[in-house]
Amino acid sequence: MALSPFKPSQHPRLDLIRYVAVSSLLSETLRSRLGFLWWFLDPVLYMAVFYFVFAVIFERGGPDFVVKLLIALVLWRWFDNTVKACAGSLVNGKGLMRQVYVSKFLFPLAALLSQGIKSAVVLLVLILFLLVYGIDVNLAWFGLVPVLLVEFLFISGVGLLLASIIPFFPDLKTLIDYGIQLMFFLSGVFFEISQLPPDVQDYFLLNPMAMLIDQGRQVLLYQATPDWILLAGIAIFSFLLAAIGSWLLARYDRDYPALLLV
């Protein structure tokens, strides 16, 4: 038989990604007394904090303030949780990757899937809330599909990129947490970007999450059609991030185990 260098299949196996994602969700759920209930309770409490501060204490916003806040928080939390999970995914998987060869894509992809499942539950709760709240269900709601799809691309792009570079610079993790916090304050969760002075608006327009949150609100509350050019722009940018991250993950596939040793 001819001899050749070790050539692992870098294609992550879908059944494995699924099993790892579901196992981590299950394991996390089993660690608490209330288990699955936390999937609902956690986002509800999270939203309650913001509602209490901004709607009750500061009495901000008009009649739709609560709904706008909730839409924004649901979209934001999906991004926030997933990007953080992806960023730490290779570091957390270092024990496993020293026991067996696995495609390094497994770690961020499993994080994308498990956080996606959790966020889908929260999104369903939001939709139910909108119905109970008396928001009109109409065909414009279909516009949410492309918005969610582009947000998924954006999260994947940022997630893959961070997963691939954090092992080289573990200290970045702290900086990234602050970066995400900055993005949060510049995402227009508490207000609408169009209400701000024009010279400040530019800062917000640099933040894809601000634009996606705005698009989500427009579609769900004002029967707007999505801004296709904007969405396409974010999608292209996301593909670029994902491409760089994927290239790094493939290029350094078998260097990560030794790198994460230190």
Partner 1 sequence: MTALEKDVSIRVDEVSLAYERRAGLFRREPFWALRDVSFELHSGETLGVIGRNGSGKSTLLRLLAGISKPTRGEILAASSFVSLLSLDLGFVPNLSGRQNIFLSAMLYGMSRQRVSELLDAIVDYSELGDAIEHPVNTYSAGMKARLGFSIATTVDPDVLLIDEILGVGDLSFRHKSSATMRNRLKSGKTALFVSHSMHEVSALCDRVVWLDNGELRMIGEPDDVIPQYEDCLQQPTS
Give the binding range for partner 1 (CB under 8 A) out of 15-23, 147-155, 203-211, 223-231: 15-23
- Does the footprint of partner 1 cover residue 2 (CB under 8 A)? yes
Nearer to partner 1, 97 or 155 (CB): 97
Residue of 91, 87, 45, 85 lying closest to 176 (CA atoms): 87
How near is the Cβ of 15 to partner 1 at its closest, in Å? 5
Nearer to partner 1, 26 or 200 (CB): 26
Which residue in the block uniquely carries the two structure tokens 């709601």?
141
Nearer to partner 1, 169 or 222 (CB): 169
The 40-79 site mask, x for binding partner 1 (CB under 8 A), equals ----------------------------------------
How near is the Cβ of 112 to partner 1 at its closest, in Å? 19
Handedness of CA 23, 28, 29, 30 (dihedral sign): positive
Residue pair 151/75 in contact (Cβ under 8 Å)? The answer is: yes
Exposed/middle/buried for 95, CB within 10 Å: 0-12, 13-18, 19+? exposed
Which tokens is 103 given? 């495609």
Using CB under 8 A, pick the residue from 10, 24, 92, 201 that binds partner 1. Answer: 24
Residue pair 126/70 in contact (Cβ under 8 Å)? The answer is: yes
Handedness of CA 231, 194, 220, 120 (dihedral sign): positive
> Using CB under 8 A, which residues numbered 87 to 116 contact partner 1?
96-102
Nearer to partner 1, 101 or 133 (CB): 101
Residue pair 214/195 in contact (Cβ under 8 Å)? The answer is: no
- Does the footprint of partner 1 cover residue 261 (CB under 8 A)? yes
Exposed/middle/buried for 206, CB within 10 Å: 0-12, 13-18, 19+? exposed
- Does the footprint of partner 1 cover residue 171 (CB under 8 A)? no
The Cβ-side half-sphere exposure at 49, using a 13 Å CA radius, reads 6
Nearer to partner 1, 97 or 249 (CB): 97
**Residues at the site binding partner 1, with contacts judged by CB under 8 A:** 1-8, 13, 15-16, 19-20, 23-24, 26-27, 30-31, 96-102, 254-255, 257-259, 261-262
